[in-house]
Amino acid sequence: MRAFCDYHIHSSLSLDGISALMEQVRASRAAGVAKICFTEHIDLDMPGGDFKVDFAEYARQIAEARAAFPGMFIGIGLELGDTTGTRKRVVALSNVLPLDYKLLSRHLVGGIDPYDADAFFAHRTRAQAAQEYLEAVWRSVVSFPDYDALAHLGYVFKFVQGKGFPPLGRADAPDVLEAILRHLVQNGKALEVNTSRWNAFGEGMPGREILQRYRELGGELVTLGSDAHEAGKVAQGFPQAAEQLKDLGFPYLATFEARRLVMEKL
């Protein structure tokens, strides 16, 4: 079975996680995933409350999983939700544990999470939503002081895609999108291909045309992340996403161990 690297997995240690950490490890192994990294949520001042993790319990469960599966790389990471108002607190929390990986994400735009699609799009056109989202992502990638990769570029349309909303593309706020991609390339930051919608729509976040532009700009660092919150969704869409990446000229996946870049052949 082909080996993959899933660098965006949640467990029930995250507020929205469903399956236990050990269940996710077993599911990953069954799916043929050679390297995994948990990225439990740190997202503060969210409409439903803070997303935090019990760091001591997180470290304990990772140690237990590593002991149970000694031949498998099981990384410990965090998905760091950024806003200007919470940045300092999130950075402080990101340094509590020695991590393998820091994944930067942007969920809140104007204080609203696009997960609540009815509220988010109530007074925004699609074009306005794309512009505001990309401007928020730009502020995050240039201002957050320490991260390894940018998560799910295109998240703004994740929960409305297929309802008359095409996914984020190069025509959406092109100047801002171009600036984001150039910043990642010039600063050695990886771009995640998030496959949580692949089985439904045949594309990741970001989609092919944005990945192609990232490659044209000299981008080499891509990660694969299923964003699985429950067993059975780890590595979702990975075979198709891997073929797309190879077709676009990406021969390797970026992975991280103790915050050090390790390239794995696709």
pLDDT tens digit string along 77-107?
999 999 999 999 999 999 999 999 999 999 9
* pLDDT tens, residue by residue, 22-45: 999 999 999 999 999 999 999 999
Instruction: Kindly give, in sequence order, each residue whose CB lies less than 8 Å from that of residue 164, ignoring residues fewer than 6 positions away.
Output: none
> With bands split at pLDDT 50, 70 and 90, how would you rate the model's confidence at 237?
very high
Note the pLDDT of residue 3: 64
Mean per-residue pLDDT, 1-20: 90
On the question of pLDDT at 193 being above 90, the answer is yes
* Mean pLDDT, rounded, of the chain: 96
> With bands split at pLDDT 50, 70 and 90, how would you rate the model's confidence at 200?
confident
On the question of pLDDT at 153 being above 80, the answer is yes
CA atoms within a 13 Å half-sphere pointing along the CA-CB vector of 5: 21
Cα angle value 36/185/160 (rounded, 5°)? 65
> With bands split at pLDDT 50, 70 and 90, how would you rate the model's confidence at 161?
confident
Query: Contact, 207 vs 246, CB < 8 A?
Result: no
Report how many domains make up the chain: 1
Q: What is the CATH number of the domain that holds 29?
A: 3.20.20.140
Mean per-residue pLDDT, 231-245: 95
* pLDDT tens, residue by residue, 55-73: 999 999 999 999 999 999 9
Cα angle value 191/194/195 (rounded, 5°)? 145
> With bands split at pLDDT 50, 70 and 90, how would you rate the model's confidence at 165?
confident
How many helices, marked H, and strands, marked E, lie in the chain? Answer: 9, 9
Note the pLDDT of residue 199: 87
List the one residue out of 144, 212, 203 whose CA is nearest residue 177.
Answer: 212
Note the pLDDT of residue 1: 37
| Domain that includes residue 223, residue range | 4-265
Structure tokens at 219: 């981008």
Long-range contacts of 249-255 (CB under 8 A, 24+ apart): 249/215, 250/211, 250/215, 250/220, 250/222, 252/220, 253/5, 253/222, 253/223, 253/224, 254/149, 254/190, 254/220, 254/221, 254/222, 254/223, 255/5, 255/7, 255/35, 255/37, 255/73, 255/75, 255/223
> With bands split at pLDDT 50, 70 and 90, how would you rate the model's confidence at 2?
low
